[in-house]
Structure 1
Amino acid sequence: MKNTIKKIEKPQKVQNYIGGEWVSGSGDTFQVTSPYFGNVIGEGKSSTAADIDKLAKNAHEAFLQWSVTPIKERSQVLFRFRNLLLENLDDISQTVSVESGKTLAEAKAGLMKGVEVLEFALSIQNMDHGGRLEVSRGVFCEYRREPLGVIANITPFNFPAMVPMWTIPIALVLGNSYLWKPSDKTPLTSHAIAELLAKAGLPRGVFSVAQGGVETVNAVIDHPLVKAIGFVGSSRAAKAVYQRGTNLGKRVLALGGAKNHIVLLPDADANLSGRGISDSFTGCAGQRCMAASVLLAVEGSEHLIEKIKERAQS
């Protein structure tokens, strides 16, 4: 991979993805600015409740057919998607870098973590999908695992590719349709992923993208055809998403932030510790869940401060 991040000179059109087509939203206009270059790299319109209604209904219609497609065939689509991701790794990493501020190496590493989840999803067809138990004389209990329907995922700006890849492969392999609401700060990666899924042979409507901000999020959560919601972001937003979704009786996985503490003992290696501490808060432009927030040094930290400064400035 080359280390040069390419500047996007002309703003790209940011749109919704519905039924295999790119369509502009009908809400307020928003712009996307590159942290690397400070220029506008994208422009689009937010999705209104009416836009979300169209997306959700289209996704539900696609679900009816996709859910009865044999899991072996669904897995084959995702296997082709995996190969396409690896073939286009450099291009997608470029997009992630230019819109989120990561280095190319960090963007690639995040995408590869997503590929790991995809590879796990490909093994799901060999796992338990139900069974039959004799619970008493002449009495049997049968249980099945069935897809839910339209699954929505609301993802953050700091990992435009990795976080959505935590759920996209698993939801699709298990027969659900997927409605993705990426961050309005980093929406360009969603275009690349949608195009590769289509190229892999995913039927139209099974995968959809809704662009926008808070109003779009609320419309996604509120729509009756959306059966489950995933979210990654700030703790405040996670609580709001969780409360709104569960009040409607929906399944919600809402992951918030955290404060990471490092305890430095007197016998710790200064060079190794300085490198690890510095990398934790400077890596990924400082925007990651494992960024160190607090350093607790036993018997003083003066000897380490210079090591941290040297590493951070290098």
Structure 2
Amino acid sequence: MEVQTLKYPAIQNYVAGQATATAGAATLDVFSPLDGALLSTVPVSDAGALDAAVAAAQAAFPAWSAVPIKERVQIFYRYKTLLERDVRALSDLVREENGKTYDEARAEVEKAIELTEFACSLPQLIGGEVLEVSKGVECRSERKPLGVVASIAPFNFPNMVPHWTIPNALVLGNCMVLKPSEQVPLSAVKIAELLKEAGLPDGVLNIVNGDREIVEAICDHPGIKAVSFVGSTKIAKVVYIRATGNLKRCVALGGAKNHLLVLPDANPDMTAANVAASMSGCAGQRCMAGSTMVGVGAIDHIVRKLVEEARKIVPGQNLGAVISRAAKARIEQHIDEAEAAGAKILLDGRHAVVPGHEDGYYVGPTVIDYVTPDMRIAREEVFGPVLAILRTTTLDEALALENASPYGNAAAVFTQSGSHARYVMDHASAGMIGINIGVPVPREPFSFGGWNESKFGACDITGKSSIEFWTQLKKTTTKWNPESRVNWMS
């Protein structure tokens, strides 16, 4: 049997500014979804490794939090230029470890640049308030960092999702432990290297690799004040309950089953292109994917256009791989079950093979019509390039299907009617709404976050909303003049 060599050095943890070996730790292989090549190995760290990372962050916190925010942010101005300098290499790395197309990987890195740019604006957004509340008595409010915080990132956006948390949390004065997905640990290494090059002090950002044990240890660690998580709803619930049960702040983003409502008056070309892109972008492995289309009334002409558009999406060309062989099997099982239950396969992406990359993990674009609400594919997150089409006769019926879902990340409507669009905006139970947009991801400074079982916690993870999550409010009342008239306030 041929022994594969590692393309990249074995991943190590990153503690106090240095790559750190984890003695005795088991390792997991890291494969490229593009062709099954062995990229690296990643350690399965234990709670002791987390202790070391938290200790490094705690040691760095007093000095880092004492640096004025106008000075902290200068590091991130430099970091942004480094991201721009290395955008090609960073995009190639995302593509290799995650399986995206190059254009998708580059878009992910460019979003990371935008997130960093927003963090550079934080000095203008967190100014405190001062008011003379009585003669000679002044009240002041200021935002202060929490201390050591943690970010648990998923496999589907190895560069972007860490930037949902790292720039804002660190600019606001916290120190962080990042736990990347064990399936895509390479991008996190580059993030740490570039931040060090930009001048980030050692210990402000630390990386601990591992699996479930480290996630649990993060939730339990008494030195960690706040935890952010992005992943499946099942795990998001567990993380939220465990972290808050240990008296930590937590925002945990879960899965989604986003509904795209298509009305008969929708522009056929624009709708077909948007729906096809929404269901297949990033191989459908994103919580904003439009996995369910709800047709209202006579929409057969749009479905035909949609299938035409979906046929233009070709695995290995403009459609990337899914993350693993197990993911490919799970997605194809969803399709099998829908077909067996009576749904009609209009476009079948099962058993896709890319010439020259026969060992890659590919699922072609799949469009399934006449899905009924009781089918598993209509209820569960597939996380692949698969679109289920349900049929209704009225907009209220379509909204009822959307609102019956336990999730609430995104919903969209395709129509040329302003009143119908407004009706969906007012009545859809989702945190992010699209009007003729299949992936309604807000741009900075607008925050990212869903409703219902797509998010657990009070704040969003990005944008202005994240300021409250990563800081605490300090209020100071001051009086210097004893000669002023004394009243109940002074």
TM-score if structure 2 supplies the norm length? 0.60
- Determine the structure 2 residue equivalent to 1:4: none
Q: Partners in 2 of 1:35 and 1:312 — Cα distance?
A: 22
Q: Partners in 1 of 2:238 and 2:44 — Cα distance?
A: 20
- Determine the structure 2 residue equivalent to 1:118: 116
Give the secondary-structure state (helix, strand or coil) at the position aligned to 2:94: helix
Give the secondary-structure state (helix, strand or coil) at the position aligned to 2:96: helix
Q: Partners in 2 of 1:286 and 1:134 — Cα distance?
A: 55
Q: Partners in 2 of 1:111 and 1:179 — Cα distance?
A: 21
Count of aligned pairs: 307
Aligned amino acid, residue 68 of structure 2: P
Q: Partners in 2 of 1:215 and 1:120 — Cα distance?
A: 33
Q: Partners in 2 of 1:305 and 1:115 — Cα distance?
A: 36
- Greater Cα shift, 295-304 or 54-63: 295-304
- Determine the structure 2 residue equivalent to 1:254: 252
State yes or no: 1:203 paired with 2:201: yes
Aligned amino acid, residue 77 of structure 2: F
Alpha carbons 2:6, 2:40 under 8 Å: kept: no
- Determine the structure 2 residue equivalent to 1:19: 16
Q: Partners in 1 of 2:209 and 2:234 — Cα distance?
A: 21
Aligned match for 1:62, one of 60, 63, 78:
60
**How far off its partner does 1:125 sit?**
1.5
Alpha carbons 2:42, 2:185 under 8 Å: kept: no
**How far off its partner does 1:108 sit?**
1.1
Give the secondary-structure state (helix, strand or coil) at the position aligned to 1:102: coil
Alpha carbons 1:25, 1:44 under 8 Å: kept: no
**How far off its partner does 1:116 sit?**
1.3
Aligned amino acid, residue 160 of structure 1: P
State yes or no: 1:292 paired with 2:322: no
Q: Partners in 1 of 2:69 and 2:273 — Cα distance?
A: 46
Aligned match for 2:88, one of 82, 85, 90:
90
**How far off its partner does 1:307 sit?**
2.6
Deviation string 1:253-290 (CA, Å, 9 cap, x unpaired) is: 11112211111111223222221111111111111122
Q: Partners in 2 of 1:11 and 1:198 — Cα distance?
A: 20
- Greater Cα shift, 77-86 or 213-222: 213-222
Aligned amino acid, residue 15 of structure 1: Q
Q: Partners in 1 of 2:211 and 2:299 — Cα distance?
A: 42
- Determine the structure 1 residue equivalent to 2:222: 224
Structure 1 alignment gaps of length 5 or more: 1-7
Aligned amino acid, residue 151 of structure 1: V
- Determine the structure 1 residue equivalent to 2:164: 166
Alpha-carbon RMSD across the aligned residues, in angstroms, is 1.6
Q: Using a 3 Å threshold, how does the CA distance of structure 1 residues 132 and 116 change in structure 2: closer, same or farther?
A: same
Give the structure with the larger helix fraction: 1
Deviation string 1:161-194 (CA, Å, 9 cap, x unpaired) is: 1111111111111111111101111110001111
Q: Partners in 2 of 1:124 and 1:10 — Cα distance?
A: 39
Q: Partners in 2 of 1:208 and 1:128 — Cα distance?
A: 25
Q: Using a 3 Å threshold, how does the CA distance of structure 1 residues 267 and 132 change in structure 2: closer, same or farther?
A: closer
For the pair shown, the structure with the greater C-alpha radius of gyration is 2
Aligned amino acid, residue 171 of structure 1: A
State yes or no: 1:30 paired with 2:28: yes
Alpha carbons 2:13, 2:20 under 8 Å: kept: yes
Give the secondary-structure state (helix, strand or coil) at the position aligned to 1:164: helix
Aligned match for 1:304, one of 287, 302, 305:
302
- Determine the structure 2 residue equivalent to 1:3: none
- Determine the structure 2 residue equivalent to 1:184: 182
Q: Partners in 1 of 2:22 and 2:231 — Cα distance?
A: 23
Q: Partners in 1 of 2:40 and 2:273 — Cα distance?
A: 36
Q: Partners in 2 of 1:144 and 1:276 — Cα distance?
A: 44
- Greater Cα shift, 139-148 or 202-211: 139-148
- Greater Cα shift, 23-32 or 60-69: 23-32
**How far off its partner does 1:73 sit?**
1.8
Q: Using a 3 Å threshold, how does the CA distance of structure 1 residues 283 and 68 change in structure 2: closer, same or farther?
A: same
Q: Partners in 2 of 1:169 and 1:64 — Cα distance?
A: 18
Aligned amino acid, residue 284 of structure 1: C
**How far off its partner does 1:136 sit?**
3.7
Q: Partners in 1 of 2:260 and 2:140 — Cα distance?
A: 49
Q: Using a 3 Å threshold, how does the CA distance of structure 1 residues 296 and 75 change in structure 2: closer, same or farther?
A: same
TM-score if structure 1 supplies the norm length? 0.93
Q: Partners in 2 of 1:76 and 1:11 — Cα distance?
A: 31
Q: Partners in 1 of 2:268 and 2:214 — Cα distance?
A: 48
Aligned amino acid, residue 115 of structure 2: V
- Determine the structure 1 residue equivalent to 2:235: 237
Q: Partners in 2 of 1:172 and 1:227 — Cα distance?
A: 14
Q: Partners in 1 of 2:59 and 2:6 — Cα distance?
A: 39
Give the secondary-structure state (helix, strand or coil) at the position aligned to 2:71: helix
- Greater Cα shift, 147-156 or 111-120: 111-120
Q: Partners in 1 of 2:294 and 2:112 — Cα distance?
A: 33
- Determine the structure 2 residue equivalent to 1:101: 99
Q: Using a 3 Å threshold, how does the CA distance of structure 1 residues 252 and 273 change in structure 2: closer, same or farther?
A: same
- Determine the structure 2 residue equivalent to 1:46: 44
Structure 2 alignment gaps of length 5 or more: 313-490
